[in-house]
């Protein structure tokens, strides 16, 4: 269905010099920097897959999505979506895809949502029957009813995102591209958006490509993930494998009242764990514990530490996508 081959995109930007004088110098300068935003990326995506496309800020995710959706033309390499080259055949491609950029809306600012939807119905030539069916699905899964008559500019972020999602799906596209669909949403709305995405995939067999910084999005939606860093593909495979390898390491930060001696902490021996699954770092009065949560619980660790030390405070840090990427990078998958 989707075939990306040796895809590259470079941006040419003026060299920037620091400070006020630098700004003037930059303005007149003819020196350019070439930034390889996407650097030789290849992958295939099958019909009906949900793929998480992840990476740190500036990794090149949005740039890839823009080329896949036809908004941007590659510097070299190619994208073929369902036999069409999106950036050469934008109109034809647009009929089969839906796009949501979480950072900005595609909706008409001043129109009530209901009118936006009927406009899109006409643009995409959706039949009355299909339109009815889809709208009732959206009413139910995305709970649009409450704000259907409000102009888009008055919607809250969560409402707007749900509206954007519905708008991208009105023509029942074969593929949807979601660039950070849960950014800035509260936990409850995030959960609703995820549920809707999941159901759309189940009911319509829609292929979904999703970028996010939220590991929970990935966890709930994607079996397969592609990780990119600095424009290059770092990993393509199952989420399960990655998690088994890297995701189960968790960090516990413990504030201890008195100075302590790191060499006297012998929990590895007590709990019979090697340093790969349990290790300690000292930062001033803070004890930082990295541990494999499959093998030991934070309460076990706390229990042993508290036997020997006065603990003032502690904090368990969730693993983020960025943490996993950093780990993969260090271990060079
Ligand atoms: N139009 C542009 N002109 C110049 N540089 C650009 C342009 N678009 C993107 N870049 C640069 O390309 C790199 C990749 O950007 P991109 O937006 O694809 O990252 P991203 O992975 O989506 O990051 P984020 O998680 O922050 O959204 C960045 O260094 C960015 O500054
Ligand atoms: Mg982006």
Q: What is the mean pLDDT of each run of 10 residues along the chain (333 residues)?
A: 96 84 82 92 97 92 95 96 93 90 84 90 93 89 87 89 92 94 87 91 94 87 93 91 76 92 91 92 92 90 93 85 70 50
Starting from the CA of residue 56, give the closest ligand: 1
**Cα of 61 from ligand 2 centre, angstroms:** 5
Residues near ligand 2 ion, CB 5 Å cutoff = 61-62
Check if the beta carbon of residue 14 is closer than 8 Å to that of residue 26.
yes
Cα of 212 from ligand 2 centre, angstroms: 8
Q: Which of 63, 64, 100, 321 to mutate to test the pocket of ligand 1 (most atoms within 8 A of CB)?
A: 63
- Given this model, what pLDDT does residue 13 score? 84
Q: Could you count the other beta carbons within 10 Å of the beta carbon of residue 88?
A: 12
From the CA of 254, how far away is ligand 2's center (Å)?
A: 34
Q: Are 251 and 288 in contact (CB under 8 A)?
A: yes
- Which residues have C-beta atoms less than 6 Å from ligand 1? 11, 13, 35, 37, 55, 57-63
pLDDT computed for residue 321 by the predictor: 66
Cβ-Cβ contacts under 8 Å for 301 (sequence gap 6 or more): 252, 267, 278, 289, 291
Output the residue whose Cα is nearest ligand 1's atom 16.
60
User: Helix (H, G, I), strand (E, B), or coil: what is residue 238?
Assistant: strand
Question: Smallest Cα–Cα separation from 262: which of 230, 225, 288, 234?
Answer: 288
Per-residue CA distances from 285 to 43, 254, 310, 313 (Å)? 47, 9, 11, 11
Ligand nearest to the CA of 37: 1
- pTM given for the model: 0.79
> Which pLDDT value is given to residue 331?
62
What's the pLDDT score for residue 231? 95
Residue nearest to atom 25 of ligand 1 (CA): 57
Q: How close is the Cα of 175 to the center of ligand 2, in Å?
A: 19
Could you tell me where the beta strands, DSSP code E, fall in 46-195? 50-54, 76-81, 97-101, 175-179
Q: How far is the CA of 77 from the centre of ligand 1 (A)?
A: 18
Which pLDDT does position 171 carry in this prediction? 92
| pLDDT (0 to 100) of residue 8 | 97
Mutate to test the pocket of ligand 1, among 12, 13, 15, 35 (most ligand atoms within 8 A of CB): 35
Q: Which residue has 């908004």 as its token pair?
A: 71
Nearest-CA residue for atom 3 of ligand 1? 11
């Amino acid at each position: 269905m989707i075939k990306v081959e040796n895809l590259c995109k470079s941006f040419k930007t003026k060299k920037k010099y620091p400070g006020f004088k630098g700004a003037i110098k930059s303005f007149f300068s003819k020196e350019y920097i070439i930034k390889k935003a996407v650097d030789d990326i290849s992958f295939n995506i099958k019909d009906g897959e949900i793929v998480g496309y992840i990476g740190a800020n500036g990794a090149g995710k949005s740039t890839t999505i823009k080329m896949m959706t036809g908004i941007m033309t590659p510097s070299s390499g190619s994208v073929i979506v369902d036999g069409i080259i999106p950036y050469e055949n934008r109109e034809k491609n647009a009929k089969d895809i839906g796009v949501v950029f979480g950072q900005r809306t595609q909706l008409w600012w001043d129109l009530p949502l209901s009118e936006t939807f009927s406009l899109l119905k006409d643009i995409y030539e959706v039949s009355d029957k299909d339109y009815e069916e889809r709208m009732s699905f959206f009413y139910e899964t995305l709970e649009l009813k409450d704000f259907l008559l409000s102009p888009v500019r008055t919607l809250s972020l969560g409402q707007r995102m749900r509206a954007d999602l519905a708008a991208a799906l009105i023509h029942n596209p074969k593929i949807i591209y979601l660039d950070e669909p849960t950014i800035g949403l509260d936990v409850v709305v995030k959960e609703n958006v995820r549920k809707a995405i999941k159901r759309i995939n189940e009911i319509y067999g829609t292929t979904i490509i999703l970028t996010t910084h939220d590991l929970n999005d990935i966890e709930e939606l994607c079996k397969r993930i592609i990780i990119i860093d600095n424009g290059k593909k770092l990993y393509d495979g199952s989420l399960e494998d990655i998690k088994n390898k890297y995701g189960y390491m968790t960090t516990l930060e413990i504030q201890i009242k008195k100075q302590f001696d790191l060499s006297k902490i012998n929990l590895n021996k007590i709990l019979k764990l090697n340093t790969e699954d349990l290790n300690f770092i000292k930062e001033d009065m803070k004890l930082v514990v990295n541990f494999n949560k499959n093998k030991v619980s934070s309460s076990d660790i706390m229990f042993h530490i508290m036997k020997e030390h006065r603990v003032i405070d502690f904090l368990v840090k969730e693993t983020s996508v960025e943490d996993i990427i950093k780990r993969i990078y260090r271990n060079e998958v």
